[in-house]
Amino acid sequence: MTYSIRFRRSAATFLFSLPKKSQRIVKEKLSVLMDDPYPGGVGDKELLQTKEMDVFRIHISRSFTAIYLIHSDTPEKWVEITHIMTIEQAHKLYGRL
């Protein structure tokens, strides 16, 4: 089953503020979510513990982290990239989730 990838505006803004090489690396890494967005398998994916919903993260080449949601309860399955940030920023965010 293939999932489409969609970006929240803030995640897209961050992505397009990066140098072209970093943009390419992030896009390539996020493309693995199209085939399998759940933890395990390809990629460094993890379920983050939250009270409200399942939130996932994927590390991208030791520099960035993407936070995402999986929407599998609709006819078109899709992954929503909510945040892209540096790993340092992500570690601070984990404490607030």
Cα separation of 46 and 14, whole Å? 21
pLDDT at residue 97, rounded to an integer? 52
Crossing angle, helix 20-30 and helix 9-17, to 10 degrees?
A: 140
For the stretch 3-16, pLDDT in tens is 999 999 999 999 99
For the stretch 34-53, pLDDT in tens is 999 999 877 789 998 778 88
For the stretch 52-96, pLDDT in tens is 889 999 999 889 999 999 999 888 999 999 999 998 888 887 665
pLDDT at residue 51, rounded to an integer? 81
Strand-pairing partners, residue 57, are 46, 67
Cα separation of 91 and 67, whole Å? 11
pLDDT at residue 13, rounded to an integer? 97
Cα separation of 50 and 36, whole Å? 21
pLDDT at residue 74, rounded to an integer? 86
Residue corresponding to tokens 């936070």:
67
